[in-house]
């Protein structure tokens, strides 16, 4: 589980992708906490991953957060950060 997709209440299609080429790990080092189709809330734990394992296997551990349907919104802006916590916004969407 190196990638997760969501449709937000505002219609935004959100993709969270953990690492570069981590699909090659075939789920090793990843744990999911929600089932497909579940409704999740801000701050709810959805996935965890072993950062050291990803790095040890030679993969870039960058986590990408993307909106795939940006044309449906007035503005979609990323919030730059080296590290984030549950309370931090990483993307701002203006409808």
Catalytic residues: 17
Residues 6+ apart with CB under 8 A from 1: 27, 30, 31, 32, 47
For residues 62 and 82, is the Cβ–Cβ distance under 8 A? no
For residues 76 and 69, is the Cβ–Cβ distance under 8 A? no
């Amino acid at each position: 589980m190196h990638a997760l997709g969501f449709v937000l209440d505002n219609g935004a299609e959100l993709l969270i992708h953990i690492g570069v080429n981590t699909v090659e790990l075939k789920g090793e080092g990843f744990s999911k906490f929600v089932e497909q189709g579940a409704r999740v809330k801000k701050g709810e734990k959805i996935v965890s991953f072993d950062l050291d394992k990803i790095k040890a296997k030679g993969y870039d551990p960058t986590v990408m957060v993307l909106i795939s349907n940006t044309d449906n919104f007035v503005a979609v802006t990323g919030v730059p950060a080296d590290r984030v916590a549950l309370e931090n916004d990483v993307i701002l969407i203006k409808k």
